[in-house]
């Protein structure tokens, strides 16, 4: 009986070709791929262009989130990623004039209530489109995703960075 109930719960995810989240083995690489795919789909449907994937600053952003996720509030974490990491990849002209060139969006999600990576990605996009971050959703055609999963708190941090 337990197997039938489990199959019935997983059927929608299997039917839609979704990838189920295993909390004990959260796959950050898979989350990055799914998030980029969902964000690209969102952008294509609204702006008629595709995103190009980059891994610029990926390791630095990952290490920063890993080190500071429990110490800094989410908005401050995003601000620090923009200021400390992404700012270093901007052109000299942008940095001298204090004009923003590279922008990061970040969201944190408790994984217990989500069953698929697609649901997590869709939740991030919904959060960003229903906030002040909406103005950055069409910032550039070049983007990169960094996700980090804190096993102790069971919170996934998903960062999407736009590069000019």
The Cα angle at residue 69 between residues 65 and 148, in degrees rounded to 5: 50
Mean pLDDT of the 127-145 span: 82
Q: What is the pLDDT of residue 152?
A: 92
User: Residue 163: is it exposed, middle or buried by C-beta count within 10 angstroms (0-12/13-18/19+)?
Assistant: buried
**More confident of the two residues 46 and 134:** 46
Q: Where are the domains of the chain?
A: 22-163
Q: Is the pLDDT of residue 100 over 60?
A: no
* pLDDT tens digits, one per residue of 42-89: 988 887 788 889 888 889 999 999 999 989 898 888 888 878 887 766
Half-sphere exposure of residue 118: CA atoms within 13 angstroms, side-chain side: 10
Whether this prediction's pTM lies above 0.85 is answered by no
Q: What is the pLDDT of residue 150?
A: 93
Output the 3-class SS for 53-75: ECCCCHHHHHHHHHHHCCCCCHH
Q: Cα(144)–Cα(55) distance, rounded to whole angstroms?
A: 6
CATH of domain 22-163: 3.40.33.10
Q: Which two tokens stand for residue 109?
A: 């999600």
């Amino acid at each position: 009986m337990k197997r039938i109930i489990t199959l019935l719960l997983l059927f929608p995810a299997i039917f839609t070709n979704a990838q189920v989240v295993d909390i004990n083995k959260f796959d950050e690489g898979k989350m990055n791929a799914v998030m980029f795919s969902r964000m690209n789909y969102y952008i294509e449907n609204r702006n008629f262009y595709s995103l190009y994937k980059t891994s610029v600053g990926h390791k630095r952003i990952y290490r920063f989130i890993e080190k500071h996720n429990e110490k800094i509030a989410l908005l401050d974490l995003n601000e620090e990623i923009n200021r400390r990491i992404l700012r270093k990849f901007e052109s000299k002209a942008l940095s001298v004039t204090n004009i923003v060139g590279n922008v990061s969006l970040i969201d944190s999600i408790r994984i217990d209530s989500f069953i698929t990576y697609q649901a997590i990605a869709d939740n991030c996009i919904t959060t960003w489109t229903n906030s002040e971050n909406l103005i950055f959703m069409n910032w550039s055609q070049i983007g990169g995703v960094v996700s980090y999963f804190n096993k102790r708190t069971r919170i996934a941090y998903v960062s999407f960075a736009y590069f000019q």
